[in-house]
Structure 1
Amino acid sequence: MQAVILHGAEDLRLETVPRPSAGPGEVVVRVGAATTCGTDLKVYRRGYHAQMLRPPTVFGHEVAGTITEVGEGVSSFRVGDRVVALNSAPCEQCYFCRRDQPNLCADLLFNNGAYAEYMRVPERIVSRNTLLLPDDLPFEHAALTEPLACAVRGFEETGARAGDTFVVIGAGPLGLMFLRVASIAGCRVIAVVKRADQVESARRFGAEHVVQIADGLDVVAETRALTEGGVGADVVVECVATPQSWEQAVATVRKGGTVNLFGGPPSGTRVSFDTNRLHYGDITLKASFHHTPATCRRAFDLIRTGAASPADFITATATLAQVPEVFRRMMVRSAEGRVDIKTAILPSSECAA
C-alpha cells in the first residue's frame, strides 16, 4: 500500500509499505479521510515527538474510514463498519486513570498512521476509543473528532457557563474550535487574532467581538474594554503558545476568573506573572492537555449532529502523494501567516495491496 513516512525533520516521503493486518483484538481500517493538524506540523518541523512517535514511521493521527479486517476476539465491530478511531487510549489502571485523569495516563497508548491507504488500530483503542459513524457522516468530518475533543475538554476544564465572557487568544484550528464550542455553550465570545483574514474566520466560528493585534494597540486594554464594566473576562483561553500570549491571558482575565493555558510552548520556556495579581485577584490558572474517551464522545456528538458545523473546518483537500508538499506549504504559510484551517487527505479509491 501507499503511505507517507516521516523520516526526520521536514522529511516526509510517499512510499510503498506492507499493508497492515489485524492481530487479536485489532482492526484494520481503510482510510476514508485524514486531516492535517498543528501537532503534526510541529512534529514535521522537529522530526519527532517524544510521546507519540519516533521516525521512521507512518505519519498522521486524525482519521476515519471503513473496517476491512477484524482480529480474533473483536465483537463490537465487523467488516464494512464506518468508524472514527481516536489516536490514543488510556490504560484505565494507573494512578492517573484511577483519579479520573485518563488524559495523563502513565501508559497512554498513541497510534499514528493516518496518511496511508490502510491503518491498523490497536486493541486498546478498538475497545475504548473507536466509534461507529452514521452512513451520512463524511469521513473528513468524523476525522475532526480528535482535535475537537481536545477543545471540548479544555472548555469543560474552565468551568465556563452560559452568559460568561469567554476570550480566546489565537485563531488557528484549535482556537477556532474553542470559539465554536464556547459559542454553542452560550458564552459571550471574544477573539484576539493576529491577521486580517482571521477576523472574518473568528466571527464565522462564533466570536461576537474580534480584537486584531496591531502595532501600538494595547490588546489587553482593548479586550478588557469589551467586557462588562471593563473588569476583564470570566474565562481566557490561550491558543498561541508564546510567553507573551500567556502573560496577556493572565492580564485579560477578571478577578476570580479562570485562565486555560492551552497552547504548549517549547520545553524550557519561561514566563513571568504578577504574583500580587494572581494572589489578590484570586485567579485560577489551568492547563489542559489532550482528550479523554468521554470528551471524544461529546465532541463526536457535536460533529454527528452538525452542531459544530464541521464543514467549516475543511478548507482544502489533497491526495496522499501531495502530503509532503502540503506540509512544506504549511511551513511556508505558517511563517507568512497564511495557513488553511484543515486539509483533508483523501487516499485513492483504488487501494493497492
Structure 2
Amino acid sequence: MIPVEILNRTMVAAVLHGPGDVRLEEVPIPPIGPKDLLARVEAASIDFTDRKVYLRGSHPMITIPGLFGHEWAGVVVARGEQADIRWQPGIRVVAANSAPCTVPSPAARCRACRRSRQSMCERLLYNNGAFAPYIRIPGRIVEVNLHELSPQVPFEEAALAEPLACVMHAIRRMQVSDGDRIVIIGAGPIGLMFIAVLRHRYGQSIRLLSLDHHDDRLALARYFGADEALNTVGAPLGAGVREAFGTEMADIVIEVVGSTQAYQEAFEAVGRGGTLIAFSGVAEGTGLSLDLHRLHYEEIQIVPIYHHTPGDFASAVQAIVRREVPVASLITARLPLMELSRALEMVQERTTLRTILLP
C-alpha cells in the first residue's frame, strides 16, 4: 500500500510531449498495482539516448505524452499487497527499464524469448519516469530486473547499471580470441565501459584501441585500460588503426558513435573473418553502403546490439558492486531536476560524460 503521506499527492516530473518538447509538470505520484513497487528516485542518469528521444519526440519505449528518463537508483517506499515480501520500504534498489516475458511456462512466452533472445521480446515491457521524485516499478520488472544495493554502493553509480547492461549484452555476443585487435570507435561513456569490461575480462590477451576526437576522453580511455588512444580529427580511421596495430585491419570493431560515417569507416576497418559490433542506434531510414564482395568472401560478421536481458543487467550491477568498472569516473556533472534542459544541452555539446539528475 502507498503510505498516507504519499497517497493522492503530486510531484514535478519530466513529461515528453514531442520533438524538442519536454516539460516539467505537476503530475500525480504514480499509483501502484498489486505486484508493483513505488520507489523514491535518489539519482537518475541522463544519456545520449535521452537526447535522441528528446529531439525525435518518440521512442518505442515511450507513449507520448509520457514520463521521461530510464536510468535510476533509489529506495523502495511502498509495495503492492501481492508484491514479493522481500521488497520492504527502505530497501535501496536499482532497476532496469524493462522486462521480457516472465510467464513460468516456456511455451507461453513469445518466440524471441523461447529462442533465448530476450532483448527482442515481442512483449517487452518498458518503464520510464526516472526524471521525477518517485517512480513506479511494474511487477514484471520487480520479478526479474530489480536488485538490492548495499549501503556501500552510491546511488549515482548504480544508476549507470542500465547502459552498462547494454555493453554486457554486446560483449556476451562477441567471439573474442587471444591476440585479437579490438577497436572502439568513440570514447564516450559507452566506449569507456567497453574498454573497462573487455580489459577486466580478457586481461592482456587482447589489444584495445580507442579512437575519438576529444583528447580528454582519450586520456580516460587509457585510464580505463586502452593500449592505445588516438585522436582521429582530420584523419581516416584506418590511419589510426594502422598506427596502433601496424595494419589497417582489426578483428573486432565496435561502433558507439551513431553516425553513417563512423559505421562506414568501422566496416572498412574490419579484417578477414572479423566482426563489426553495430552498437549505436541511428534514425529510421538511415542507409549504409557496404562492399558485399568483402562481406561474403572475407566472412565479415555484423552483429547489431539492442538493449539487454535480465542476465546482462545482473552482470552490470555486479560489475559496479565489485568495482570492476570505474563508473564514478564517468560522472562529470550533477544537476537538480529543474535544470533538465541544461543537462540535455550538455549531452549534445559533449561537455559532460554522464550527468546525474537529483530529483
Aligned counterpart in structure 1 of residue 126 of structure 2, from 101, 106, 110 = 110
TM-score by length of 2: 0.90
Shift of 1:328: 3.5
The DSSP-based 3-state class of the residue aligned with 1:17 is: strand
Aligned-residue Cα RMSD (Å) equals 1.6
Task: Give, in angstroms, the shift of residue 339 of structure 1.
Answer: 2.9
Judging changes above 3 Å, is the alpha-carbon distance between structure 1 residues 282 and 224 closer, same or farther for their aligned structure 2 residues?
farther
- Contact 2:45/2:356 (CA < 8 Å) preserved in 1? yes
**8 Å contact 2:211–2:240 — kept in the other structure?**
no
Distance in 2 between residues matched to 1:274 and 1:346, nearest whole Å: 47
**Alignment partner, residue 7 of structure 1:** 17
* 2:239 aligned residue (215, 221, 226): 221
Alignment partner of 1:67 is 2:76: yes
Change (3 A) 1:327 1:218: closer
1:188 corresponding residue in structure 2: 207
More displaced, 161-170 or 77-86? 161-170
Aligned runs of 1:193-342 on 2, under 5 Å? Answer: 193-215=212-234, 217-227=235-245, 230=247, 232-331=249-348, 333=349, 338-342=350-354
Deviation of the 1:324 alpha carbon: 2.4
Task: Give the secondary structure class of the aligned counterpart of 2:193.
Answer: helix
CA–CA distance in structure 2, aligned partners of residues 136 and 111 of structure 1: 26
1:346 aligns with 2:354: no
SS in 2 for 1:251: helix
- What amino acid is the match of 2:353? I
Conserved 8 A contact 1:70-1:77: yes
So what's the TM-score if we normalise by structure 1? Answer: 0.92
Q: Check whether the contact 1:10–1:328 (CA below 8 A) recurs between aligned residues.
A: no
- Structure 1: stretches of 5+ with no match in the other structure: 348-353
1:36-185 aligned at under 5 Å gives the runs 36-49=46-59, 51-75=60-84, 76-92=86-102, 93-161=109-177, 163-185=179-201
CA contact (8 A) 2:43 2:74 kept: yes
Deviation at 1:225, TM superposition (A): 4.1
SS at match of 2:173: helix
SS of the residue corresponding to residue 78 of structure 1 reads: coil
Structure 2: segments with no counterpart, 5+ residues? 1-10, 103-108
Structure 1, 7-16 or 74-83: larger mean CA deviation: 7-16
Residues 334 and 356 of structure 2 are in contact (CA less than 8 Å); yes or no, is this contact kept in structure 1? yes
Structure 2 partner of 1:350: none
SS at match of 2:271: strand
Cα displacement (A) at 1:130: 0.6
**Which 4+ stretches in 1 moved above 4 angstroms?**
none
Moved more, 14-23 or 314-323: 14-23
- What is the SS of the residue equivalent to 2:267? helix
> 1:97-125 CA distances to partner (integer Å, 9 max, x unpaired)?
00000000001000000011110011100
